[in-house]
Amino acid sequence: MCLDLKDKAKLKIAKKDIVCYKHLIQLDGTYRTPYQNAVVSVNQLLKSKLVVNSDSKFYKFIDVGFHLFKRKGDAMNDAIIVESAYIARCIIPKGAEYYVGKFCGRKSYASNQIKYLSVKEITEKEITEKEKEIYEKRHNRKRNI
């Protein structure tokens, strides 16, 4: 997962806790991030480097750091695409460094710190008809969770 940045994106410092969301997978009873397969620890402050890269004068992105969605619905959409069924409510803690950008066209963050507050299984009831349609079209099959 990479965070796409606008040309003039600037590093920010969180003035207060920022609530955000991430979808997770579960392997052998352990929650993990779907792209990096990193183990998730709930209620523990995690830290990372935050690295901005560029492949041209006009395109910058972050591929190292914690990547999070601003809205729960966007995390759920991404979860459906990668067939995971868990959503984590997180915070970027006050004082953490972060960038605002987009992932797959959705407003997202990349930060050097994260704290997972809770993890919840997505229920069938929470998945909208549109989300089911997107999943079924992409995978040419029904969504079963």
Total count of domains within the chain: 1
Question: Residue 21's CB: how many other CB atoms inside 10 A?
Answer: 20
Over residues 72-80, mean pLDDT: 76
pLDDT reported for residue 26:
86
Rounded CA-CA distance 61/6 in Å is: 9
The answer to whether position 53 is within a domain reads yes
First to last CA, the chain: 23
Question: Residue 94's CB: how many other CB atoms inside 10 A?
Answer: 12
The answer to whether position 10 is within a domain reads yes
CA-derived radius of gyration, the chain:
15
The answer to whether position 70 is within a domain reads yes
The answer to whether position 144 is within a domain reads no
Which domain covers residue 59, as residue numbers?
3-138
DSSP 8-state class, residue 62? E
The answer to whether position 11 is within a domain reads yes
Cβ(17)–Cβ(70) below 8 Å = no
The answer to whether position 143 is within a domain reads no
Q: How confident is the model at residue 11 (pLDDT cuts 50, 70, 90)?
A: confident
pLDDT reported for residue 115:
95
Q: What is the pLDDT of residues 89-120, one digit of tens each?
A: 999 999 998 887 777 767 778 888 999 999 98
Q: Is the pLDDT of residue 5 over 90?
A: no
Q: What is the pLDDT of residues 45-73, one digit of tens each?
A: 989 887 666 766 666 656 667 878 888 88
Question: Kind of pairing, strands 106-111 and 45-47?
Answer: unpaired
Over residues 117-139, mean pLDDT: 70
Q: What percent of the chain has a predicted confidence (pLDDT) above 70? A: 63
Q: What percent of the chain has a predicted confidence (pLDDT) above 90? A: 19
**What tokens were used for 69?**
């969605």
Cβ(5)–Cβ(54) below 8 Å = no
Cβ(31)–Cβ(43) below 8 Å = no
